[in-house]
Amino acid sequence: MVNSKVLNNVQNNLFNFIIIITWILYLLITFGLSVNAPQYLEDIHYFVKIYISLFLIIRFNPLRRVKFTNLDRKIAFNAGIFLLGTSFINQILQNYFSHIKQLVNLSKFNSN
């Protein structure tokens, strides 16, 4: 059986890595530095949703008694931020890119 401290450290490091990558992708998208960043972000969001869902279901199911750890606190807090952020930020980015596309299409139309 895997040592729970080792598993906790692996999950903590993996979760920190995913959070950092997510913020880097948000910055790349915001400043228009990567065309592929939105797709990568969408893929990461999919897997993070699955990870958080499974973590919460397994860790906090009613048949189990657990001691709330710092990792649990971090996952729960970031789950809330993630759900709010993906809903809110994705909506803003979609509106932003829709507006940019309209401006580009207008400038193409006006230049002809």
d(CA 30, CA 97): 10
**Is pLDDT above 70 for 11?**
yes
Most confident among 3-12, 16-25, 77-86 (mean pLDDT): 16-25
CA 40 to each of CA 29, 36, 85, 105: distance values in angstroms, whole numbers, following the listed order: 10, 6, 16, 25
d(CA 86, CA 67): 29
pLDDT band at 108 (very low <50, low <70, confident <90, very high): low
CA 88 to each of CA 24, 70, 80, 81, 94: distance values in angstroms, whole numbers, following the listed order: 17, 26, 12, 10, 10
**Average pLDDT, integer, range 51-56:** 82
The per-residue pLDDT for 111 is: 59
pLDDT band at 9 (very low <50, low <70, confident <90, very high): confident
Name residue, tokens 């948000």.
26
CA 13 to each of CA 10, 42, 75: distance values in angstroms, whole numbers, following the listed order: 5, 21, 12
The amino acid that residue 9 corresponds to is N
DSSP 32-68: T--SSHHHHHHHHHHHHHHHHHHHHHHHT-TT-----
The per-residue pLDDT for 30 is: 75
Percent of the chain with pLDDT strictly greater than 90: 0
What pTM did the predictor assign? 0.57
**Average pLDDT, integer, range 9-32:** 82
**Is pLDDT above 60 for 52?**
yes
